[in-house]
Structure 1
Amino acid sequence: MWPPALPLVLLLPLALASTALTHSHSSSFFPTASPSLYDWSSARATYYAASDPRDKVGGACGYGDLEKAGYGLATVGLSEALFERGQICGACFQVRCVEDTRWCISGTSIIVTATNFCAPNYGLRPEGGGHCNSPNKHLVLPIEAFEKIAVWKAGNTAVEYRRIKCRKEGGIRFTIDGSNIFISVLISNVAGAGDIVAVKVKGSRTGWLPMGRNWGQNWHVSADLLNQPLSFEVTSSDGHTVTSYNVAPKAWNFGQTFEGKQFES
């Protein structure tokens, strides 16, 4: 039987990237942690078990089918205090269980990417079941990830987390959607800081056009970019910028994904 009162994870329609969990024992699915960017901070964590295959397709960051996107089960939903209204999407965290010697698996940690939002429940107090209410710092993990650091019976357990650099295979991915002169681009598979703060797009007949954040890591612009090769300029939260020229060919179509340059991890 699963522990009661697990927090609700908000699921939204999503699409593409690549990171993985890590464990103290080597595994191709659980690789070694990257160098830390920040100090350890305290939080609490619970887990969810997908009862329906559709539960794995969704998330408030817009990445779509997380298996096809390359995230697999190396994901985390963040509470309101950590989610930053979607700005944090794509950031990578190292997480370890602390304090509870009965349930923690000593010497282990996991690496996960922020792909979802744990919605608050204001019908309950933060200390009385509203796990993801502000000001709580709360992480919601797939059970497969949770069980790399703690026994499932731990339920709502104390953890420590820290931001780390993301490691990705291949380049940044640009999934183009929209219609006519409305262009929406999902930015995924981002190494380095992982989260994006600014995006520009350029057609062969335009200058650089700033894109606005639609939701998560979906960015949009209203411009006639059809029948033009597209270039992208992507800036991460640590101030680094990568420019990928002519990523999409002249004959690109909505629904296609293209790969550009990558940040250093």
Structure 2
Amino acid sequence: MAAEMRLSLLIVLVVFPCVVFAHSWNEAHATYYGAPEGTIGGACGFEEYKQIYSPYTAALSPTLYNEAESCGACFEIVCVNTTGFCKKDGEKSVVVTATDLCPASDARCSPPHVHFDLSQPAFHLIAEHLGGDVPVKYRKVSCKRKGGAKFTITGNPNFNLVTVTNVAGGGDVETVEVKAEGDKEWKNMKRNWGEKWETSEVLSGKSLNFRVTTTEGEVVTSKHVAPESWQFGQTFEGKNV
């Protein structure tokens, strides 16, 4: 009986690996922008995926954005009550997804400043509307998503552009690889911009496998995500962390 229990526990650990993490706290400032119901899109290319990330999103200063490597990452943000504008009866913290770049033309966003331009719903959970610009503490945390990672394929037979969304765990993607049916090796895709990845490999008419590695080192392989009959403009769901 004891041996069976140990085996069952081992199986659970293998099938359901722990992906919860939280980095250490750091200091920053936060403002808000966009419509009252929230905003999405911009430098990460998530305009068509509002249902996945809204309403709690943020545009990052270039220092945090890191040339799009932070797209899709999740940050927990806490208002620091040195100005008196933190919500007294609001949430203690809010978790936001990085979906945009805060322009360096804004002095508060220019390097080396660390700044979050939050969606209005996110800002108003932790701070008063009149606060405008408040000091905060932040840390990177694991992302919780419903369903698997999604792959939207656009382009043409000689140029494939894949938008990767809904990634759990680290949330932000380090590398994307594709392997078409019949190929023996994985092919690296190149970041085009934001969370859009390109390859000139001929993929049409072949079933596709994708392998995503997050900046946290999590590797997720989604086999046979797109069937042989896939068409440009379609979105396919794979696995998640």
8 Å CA contact 1:230, 1:247 repeated in 2: yes
TM-score normalized with structure 1 length = 0.79
Q: Please state how far the C-alpha of 1:249 moved relative to its aligned partner.
A: 0.6
Cα distance in 2 for partners of 1:36, 1:78 equals 21
Of 151, 172, 180, the residue aligned with 1:174 is 151
8 Å CA contact 1:36, 1:162 repeated in 2: no
2:230 is aligned to 252
Cα distance in 1 for partners of 2:40, 2:216 equals 29
Cα distance in 2 for partners of 1:35, 1:242 equals 15
CA radius of gyration, larger in = 2
- Equivalent pairs, count: 220
Deviations along 1:163-204, whole A, 9 cap, x unmatched?
000011100100111111211111110011111111111111
Cα distance in 2 for partners of 1:160, 1:45 equals 9
Deviations along 1:49-100, whole A, 9 cap, x unmatched?
328x9x94531111123423x2111110000111100001111000010033
Cα distance in 1 for partners of 2:222, 2:209 equals 6
- Structure 1 residues 35 and 97 mapped into 2: Cα distance closer, same or farther (>3 Å)? farther
Of 129, 132, 138, the residue aligned with 1:155 is 132
Deviations along 1:144-167, whole A, 9 cap, x unmatched?
110100001011110111000001
In terms of fraction of residues, the more helix-rich structure is 2
Q: Note if 1:227 corresponds to 2:205.
A: yes
8 Å CA contact 1:56, 1:65 repeated in 2: no
Secondary structure of the corresponding residue to residue 111 of structure 1: strand
Matching of residues 20-99 of structure 1 within 5 Å: 36-50=21-35, 56=39, 58-68=41-51, 70-99=52-81
8 Å CA contact 2:33, 2:120 repeated in 1: yes
Read off the aligned partner of 2:188 and give its amino acid letter.
P
Give 5+ residue unaligned stretches, structure 1: 1-33, 122-128
8 Å CA contact 1:76, 1:139 repeated in 2: yes
Read off the aligned partner of 2:119 and give its amino acid letter.
P
Read off the aligned partner of 1:62 and give its amino acid letter.
G
8 Å CA contact 2:40, 2:100 repeated in 1: no
Cα distance in 2 for partners of 1:249, 1:65 equals 23
Read off the aligned partner of 2:23 and give its amino acid letter.
Y
Q: Please state how far the C-alpha of 1:101 moved relative to its aligned partner.
A: 5.8
Identity %: 41
Q: Please state how far the C-alpha of 1:36 moved relative to its aligned partner.
A: 4.5
8 Å CA contact 1:56, 1:66 repeated in 2: no
- Structure 1 residues 229 and 63 mapped into 2: Cα distance closer, same or farther (>3 Å)? same
Read off the aligned partner of 1:145 and give its amino acid letter.
A
- Structure 1 residues 78 and 57 mapped into 2: Cα distance closer, same or farther (>3 Å)? closer
2:192 is aligned to 214
TM-align CA RMSD: 1.9
TM-score normalized with structure 2 length = 0.86
Q: Please state how far the C-alpha of 1:139 moved relative to its aligned partner.
A: 0.3
